[in-house]
Amino acid sequence: MIIWRSLCLVQFFILLTIFLFLGLTPAPEIYVPVFNDKLMHFSGYFVAAFSISFAYPRSAFWQRAIFLILFSIGIEIGQHFMPPRTFDLFDICANSGGVLTGLTLIAILEKELLWFKKFLHLSKQ
């Protein structure tokens, strides 16, 4: 189970690195096609909610939520200093919505499905 725990942590930090790179690069559309900016923000942080839940299953809902939301705010603040990028409050709202939706789904799955709870908490060992 140590390997599983390590993989969960590695995938989470890779995801954060990708978000940081795409968030602070001057032209992210070179690397990722943009089709709906807010949907991409929402879905990216929805995935991040799952990622952090597997990486840190012992952390409380609110701790995971605060970390991811503050991380997204940090990227938005960084964009203010990286022209042509700009700070966008609606990006933070989309990110936060994705985080809260993803963490809520994780909590529901963990409560309702015993196999999911066991799978999620494999990384505890």
Q: What are the 10-residue block averages of pLDDT along the chain, 125 residues in total?
A: 87 97 91 90 97 94 98 96 93 98 96 88 60
Say how far apart CA 85 and CA 12 lie, in whole Å.
Answer: 25
pTM: 0.92
Q: What is the pLDDT of residue 124?
A: 54
Q: What is the pLDDT of residue 20?
A: 96
Structural domain boundaries, residue 69: 2-124
Nearest CA to 69 among 41, 46, 99, 91? 99
Total domains, the chain:
1
Say how far apart CA 21 and CA 25 lie, in whole Å.
Answer: 6
Q: What is the pLDDT of residue 32?
A: 87
Name the residue with tokens 């597997």. 54
